[in-house]
C-alpha cells in the first residue's frame, strides 16, 4: 500500500538566545493511505512542532535542518510557497485543539465555510448548500440556520464539529487532528472520535491523530508513534505497541495511564526526572537519564530496532526483552 | 425581535447613555444639515442696533458685539465642527490603520521604526505643534486638519498594531493559513474585521477631541479666518466681553460640551458592546 505521508529524518531547530533548540531530531513516521495513525507523547515532546512542520507553517525562528516530508510522494520541505498553499486545505487539513480559538470570532460560520471553498468556481448558492450539508453531516442540528450564526453562539462541542466540517469539506488526503478532544468533556470526546472514524471511512482519507490520551489512541488508531523529547522512540500497530511495548518509555507511559489502574492509589504514578535540555541533548539514547534499565550501551544511539514487520523501537534491548 | 435585541443596534438602544448620545449626535447632524433652515437670522448679518442683546424670543441665545445672532452662528458652526472632525478623523484613521497593520505584519525592524515614529509624534504637544504649523501655513481649516492628522494618526497606528500583533498569532489565523488562505485573504478577511471594532471605538472617542482642537485653535486665533462662525471663534468673541455679557461665551461653550458628551458616551457604549470582556451579562 502507498503511504499518504512519509516523514524521514526530520530535524527541526529553533534559534533561541541559549542556542539552537533541537525540537525534532531525525523523526521518521509513515501514514499509510486510509489509516489512522496516532502520535502520543507528553507536553514538550515536539508534537506541535511536527504539525507546524507538516504544514510548513513554522515560526520565524524555526528551521528545518534536515529530513524530508512527502505527501503522496511530493516533497514539501522547501516546496514553493504557492504550491504549499494549493495543498493546504485541499490535500492537508487540520482540526485544532481548542475550538474556542480556532474560528474567527467576527465572521459567521457560513462566511468562514465559504472562505474555505475559495478555490471552487461554483456559484455561491452551491457552496452554501455544500456547507449546510457538511454541517448536517457532522451532526449539527438546523445546519442552514447555523450558517448565519457567529462562533460565540455555539457551544464548544458544536464549534469543534464546525471545525471538523470545514477541515473535511474539501475531502483532504490527510487530516491532521491536533488533540481535537482535549478541550471537550468526556461524553463529547466519544462522539467526536466516532465522527472522525465515520468521516475517515466516507472520505477515505488518512488521519494523523495527535493526543496524549492513550485510551483514545487505542480506540481510534490503526498505528501509533510514540514521541519523546523530539524523537520518535517507537512506532507500530496499536495492538502490538500497547500490548508488548518495545521501548521502556512506552512501557512507563502505559503504566502511568490512570485509565489502566486496577487499584486505588493516593498518588498517580509518574516517570521520575525531567525532559532533557534540548539545546544540548545528551548523546546516545535520549531516555537514558530516566530509564531504569539503562546500561553503558545506552551511551550510543540505538537506532531503530525492528521487532516485527512494521513495529520498531529505538532501544538496544527492545528485541532482547521479548525473547 | 429577539434577533434584534441581540444585535449591536438592539443592545445599544438598551443602554440609556447610548440613546442619549445618539440623540445628541442626531441633533448635531440635523442642525448641520439644515443650518440655513433652522437659523432664524443670517449668521453674518450685523445689526448694530442690537449689539449684546440678551437671549430673547428674537435672539434665542442673544447677539454678539456686532449684533450677529449667536444661535445662527452656532448652527453654522456645527457644519465646520462636523466637517473638520469627520475629515481629520477619516484621514488620520486611514493613515493609522495602514501604518499599524504594516507595523503589525512587517519585520521586526520595520515595526520598531514605526513605533519610534509614532512615539516621536505622540510626544509633541498638540497646541505647540499647532502654533508652529500655523506660523508656516495659511490660516484656515486645512491647517487645522493637518495639525490634527499629524498629532493623532499615531494613536490609531498603535491600537491597530497591537491588535494586529495579537491576531497574527491567534489560532484561527493559523487555522486559516492551514486551509490555504493567502496573505491578502488573511489580512483583509480575517485580521481587518477584527481590528475595526477597537478602531471605531477610538474614532468615536476622538471626534469630540478634534472638535475641541479646532475650537481651541480658532479661540487662539490660529484656526479659521476671522468672521467664520466656528464655535471657537464664538468663544473668542464672547471671551472679550465676559464681564458684561457672559451669555455669548456660555452659549458658545454649550454645543462643545454637548457634542463632547455625546461622542464620548457613544464611544463608551460601543466599547462596552464590542469588547466581550467588558460586556455585562443581561
Residue partners of B208: CB distance under 8 A and separation at least 6: B85, B259, B260, B262, B263, B264
The whole-angstrom distance between B174's CA and the closest CA on chain A is 8
- What chain B residue is nearest to A95 in terms of C-alpha separation? B175
Question: Which of B178, B182, B194 is nearest residue A55 as measured by Cβ atoms?
Answer: B178
Q: Return the pLDDT at A238.
A: 94
Report how far residue A266's alpha carbon sits from residue A317's, in angstroms, rounded to the nearest whole number: 33
Say if CB B227 and CB B44 are below 8 A apart.
yes
Domain boundaries, chain B: 2-281
B23 burial type by CB count under 10 A (0-12 exposed, 13-18 middle, 19+ buried) = exposed
pLDDT tens profile A193-220: 999 999 999 999 999 999 888 888 998 9
Query: Is B179 in contact with A116 (Cβ distance < 8 A)?
Result: yes
What's the CATH number for B2-281? Answer: 1.10.3720.10
The whole-angstrom distance between A102's CA and the closest CA on chain B is 4
Report mean pLDDT in 10-residue bins for chain B, 282 residues.
66 87 93 88 84 84 86 92 94 96 93 94 86 87 91 93 91 89 90 90 91 90 86 88 88 91 90 65 42
Strands lying side by side in the sheet with A206-211:
A92-95, A174-178, A206-211, A36-40, A223-228, A231-237, A311-313, A305-308
3-state secondary structure of A9: strand
Question: Which of A88, A101, A118 is nearest residue B178 as measured by Cβ atoms?
Answer: A88
Q: Return the pLDDT at B2.
A: 52
Report how far residue A286's alpha carbon sits from residue A282's, in angstroms, rounded to the nearest whole number: 7
3-state secondary structure of B212: helix
The rounded mean pLDDT for chain A is: 89
Report how far residue B170's alpha carbon sits from residue B188's, in angstroms, rounded to the nearest whole number: 15
Residue A88 pLDDT grade (very low, low, confident, very high; cuts 50, 70, 90): very high
- What chain A residue is nearest to B179 in terms of C-alpha separation? A89
Q: Taking the complete model, does pTM exceed 0.90, yes or no?
A: no
Specify the residue for cell string 435585541: B5
Query: Is A89 in contact with B190 (Cβ distance < 8 A)?
Result: no
Predicted-complex ipTM score: 0.81
How many angstroms from the chain centroid is the CA of residue B206? 4
Tally A–B CB contacts below 8 A. 62
- What chain B residue is nearest to A117 in terms of C-alpha separation? B179
Question: Which of A88, A101, A119 is nearest residue B170 as measured by Cβ atoms?
Answer: A101
Backbone angles phi, psi at A304, to 5 degrees: -90, 120
Report how far residue A311's alpha carbon sits from residue B1's, in angstroms, rounded to the nearest whole number: 62
Pairing relation of β-strands A36-40 and A223-228?
parallel
Report how far residue B128's alpha carbon sits from residue B209's, in angstroms, rounded to the nearest whole number: 16
Adjacent-strand bridge partners of A29: A7
Query: Is A152 in contact with B276 (Cβ distance < 8 A)?
Result: yes
Q: Return the pLDDT at B272.
A: 83
Q: Return the pLDDT at B44.
A: 83
By percentage, how much of chain A surpasses pLDDT 70? 98
Q: Return the pLDDT at B94.
A: 96
Q: Return the HEC string of A81-139.
A: HHHHHHHECCCEEEECCCCCCCCCCCCCHHHHHHHHCCCCCCCHHHHHHHHHHHHHHCC
pLDDT: which is higher, A18 or B191:
B191
Report residue B161 as a C-alpha cell. Answer: 498594531
Evaluate if residue A190 carries a pLDDT over 50.
yes
Report how far residue A140's alpha carbon sits from residue A104's, in angstroms, rounded to the nearest whole number: 19
Largest CA distance in chain A: 68
Hey, is the C-beta of A81 within 8 angstroms of any chain B C-beta? no
Hey, is the C-beta of A55 within 8 angstroms of any chain B C-beta? yes
Say if CB B72 and CB B43 are below 8 A apart.
yes
> In this predicted structure, which of A56-70, A120-134, A180-194 has the lowest mean pLDDT?
A180-194
H/E element holding A75?
A: strand A74-75
Largest CA distance in chain B: 77
Q: Which of residues 154-193 of A touch B (CB under 8 A)?
A: 163, 166-167
> Which of A62, A106, A176, A178 is best to mutate for the B interface (most B CBs within 10 A)?
A106
Q: What sign does the CA torsion over B216, B219, B222, B223 have?
A: positive
Report how far residue B234's alpha carbon sits from residue B78's, in angstroms, rounded to the nearest whole number: 12
Query: Is B193 in contact with A118 (Cβ distance < 8 A)?
Result: no
Q: Return the pLDDT at A1.
A: 55
Residue A321 pLDDT grade (very low, low, confident, very high; cuts 50, 70, 90): low
The whole-angstrom distance between B192's CA and the closest CA on chain A is 10
Pairing relation of β-strands A305-308 and A36-40?
unpaired
- What chain B residue is nearest to A166 in terms of C-alpha separation? B179
Q: Return the pLDDT at B3.
A: 59
Query: Is B179 in contact with A93 (Cβ distance < 8 A)?
Result: yes
First to last CA, chain B: 16
Q: Return the pLDDT at B282.
A: 39
Query: Is B170 in contact with A55 (Cβ distance < 8 A)?
Result: no
Amino acid at each position: 500500500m502507498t503511504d499518504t505521508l512519509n516523514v524521514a529524518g526530520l530535524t527541526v531547530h529553533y534559534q533561541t538566545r541559549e542556542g539552537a533548540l533541537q525540537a525534532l531530531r531525525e523523526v521518521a513516521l509513515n501514514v499509510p493511505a486510509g489509516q489512522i495513525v496516532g502520535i502520543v507523547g507528553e507536553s514538550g515532546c515536539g508534537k506541535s512542532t511536527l504539525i507546524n512542520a507538516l504544514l510548513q507553517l513554522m515560526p520565524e525562528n524555526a528551521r528545518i535542518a534536515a529530513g524530508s516530508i512527502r505527501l503522496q510522494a511530493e516533497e514539501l520541505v522547501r516546496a514553493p510557497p504557492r504550491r504549499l498553499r494549493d495543498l493546504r486545505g485541499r490535500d492537508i487539513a487540520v482540526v485544532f485543539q481548542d475550538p474556542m480559538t480556532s474560528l474567527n470570532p467576527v465572521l459567521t460560520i457560513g462566511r468562514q465555510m465559504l472562505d474555505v471553498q475559495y478555490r471552487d468556481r461554483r456559484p455561491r448558492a452551491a457552496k452554501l448548500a455544500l456547507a449546510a450539508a457538511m454541517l448536517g453531516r457532522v451532526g449539527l442540528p438546523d445546519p442552514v440556520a447555523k450558517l448565519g450564526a457567529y462562533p460565540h453562539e455555539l457551544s464548544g462541542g458544536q464549534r469543534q464539529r464546525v471545525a471538523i466540517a470545514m477541515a473535511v469539506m474539501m475531502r483532504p488526503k490527510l487530516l491532521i487532528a491536533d488533540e481535537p478532544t482535549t478541550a471537550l468533556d468526556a461524553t463529547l470526546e466519544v462522539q467526536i472520535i466516532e465522527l472522525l472514524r465515520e468521516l475517515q471511512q466516507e472520505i477515505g482519507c488518512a488521519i494523523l491523530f495527535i493526543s496524549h490520551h492513550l485510551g483514545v489512541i487505542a480506540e481510534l488508531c490503526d498505528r501509533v508513534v510514540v514521541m519523546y523529547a523530539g524523537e520518535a522512540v517507537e512506532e507500530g500497530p496499536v495492538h502490538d505497541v500497547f500490548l508488548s511495548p518495545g521501548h521502556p518509555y512506552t512501557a512507563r507511559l502505559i503504566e502511568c495511564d490512570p485509565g489502566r489502574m486496577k487499584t486505588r492509589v493516593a498518588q498517580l504514578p509518574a516517570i521520575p526526572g525531567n525532559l532533557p535540555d534540548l539545546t544540548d541533548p545528551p548523546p546516545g539514547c535520549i531516555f537514558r537519564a530516566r530509564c531504569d534499565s539503562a546500561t553503558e550501551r545506552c551511551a550510543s544511539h540505538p537506532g531503530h530496532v525492528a521487532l516485527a514487520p512494521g513495529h520498531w523501537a529505538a532501544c538496544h534491548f527492545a528485541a532482547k526483552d521479548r525473547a | 425581535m429577539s434577533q434584534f435585541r441581540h444585535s449591536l443596534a438592539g443592545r445599544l438602544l438598551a443602554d440609556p447613555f447610548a440613546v442619549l448620545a445618539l440623540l445628541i449626535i442626531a441633533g448635531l447632524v440635523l442642525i448641520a444639515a439644515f443650518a440655513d433652515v433652522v437659523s432664524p437670522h443670517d449668521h453674518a448679518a450685523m445689526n448694530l442696533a442690537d449689539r449684546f442683546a440678551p437671549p430673547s424670543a428674537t435672539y434665542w441665545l442673544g447677539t454678539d458685539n456686532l449684533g450677529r445672532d449667536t444661535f445662527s452662528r452656532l448652527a453654522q458652526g456645527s457644519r465646520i465642527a462636523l466637517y473638520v472632525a469627520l475629515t481629520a478623523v477619516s484621514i488620520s484613521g486611514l493613515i493609522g490603520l495602514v501604518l499599524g497593520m504594516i507595523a503589525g505584519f512587517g519585520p521586526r525592524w520595520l515595526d520598531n521604526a514605526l513605533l519610534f515614529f509614532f512615539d516621536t509624534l505622540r510626544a509633541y504637544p498638540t497646541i505647540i505643534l499647532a502654533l508652529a504649523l500655523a506660523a508656516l501655513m495659511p490660516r484656515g481649516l486645512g491647517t487645522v486638519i493637518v495639525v490634527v492628522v499629524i498629532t493623532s494618526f499615531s494613536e490609531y497606528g498603535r491600537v491597530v498594531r497591537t491588535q494586529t500583533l495579537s491576531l497574527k498569532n491567534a489560532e484561527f489565523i493559523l487555522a486559516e493559513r492551514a486551509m490555504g488562505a493567502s496573505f491578502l485573504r488573511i489580512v483583509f478577511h480575517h485580521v481587518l474585521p477584527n481590528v475595526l471594532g477597537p478602531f471605531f471605538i477610538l474614532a468615536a472617542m476622538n471626534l469630540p477631541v478634534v472638535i475641541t482642537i479646532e475650537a481651541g485653535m480658532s479661540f487662539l486665533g490660529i484656526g479659521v479666518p476671522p468672521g467664520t462662525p466656528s464655535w471657537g471663534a464664538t468663544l473668542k468673541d464672547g471671551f472679550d466681553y465676559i464681564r458684561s455679557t457672559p451669555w455669548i461665551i456660555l452659549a458658545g461653550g454649550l454645543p462643545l460640551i454637548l457634542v463632547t458628551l455625546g461622542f464620548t458616551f457613544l464611544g463608551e457604549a460601543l466599547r462596552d458592546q464590542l469588547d466581550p470582556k467588558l460586556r455585562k451579562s443581561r
